[in-house]
């Protein structure tokens, strides 16, 4: 069976469109999962009294900064001795 140039061009065009659509869907899904993860992180950190700031670059990954308030104990008691092996 012989294929003409038109047939090969049509197959190439169909494959190119399929790759384009699948690549777009993959990027959209990955972005959606990342956004859900960041929203979950913000919610959890907000409940614990932390501050979460995010910056996004369209061409790059997300940058997440978490600022947490850590309260150290104010007890004057000495620390317990660890057990000896």
Interval 3-14: pLDDT, tens: 899 999 999 999
Handedness of CA 40, 43, 48, 53 (dihedral sign): positive
Q: Contact, 68 vs 48, CB < 8 A?
A: yes
Interval 23-73: pLDDT, tens: 988 888 877 777 777 777 777 766 666 666 666 555 555 566 666 666 666
pLDDT at 38 (0 to 100): 72
The residue that leads in pLDDT, 52 or 85, is 85
This prediction has a pTM of: 0.45
Is residue 82 helix, strand or coil?
coil
């Amino acid at each position: 069976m012989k294929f003409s140039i038109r047939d090969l061009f049509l197959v190439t065009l169909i494959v190119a469109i399929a790759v384009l659509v699948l690549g777009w869907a993959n990027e959209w899904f990955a972005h959606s999962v990342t956004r859900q993860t960041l929203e979950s992180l913000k919610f959890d950190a907000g409940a614990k009294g932390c501050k979460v700031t995010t910056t996004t670059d369209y061409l790059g990954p997300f940058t997440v900064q978490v600022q947490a308030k850590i309260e150290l104990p104010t007890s004057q008691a000495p620390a317990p001795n660890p057990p000896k092996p």
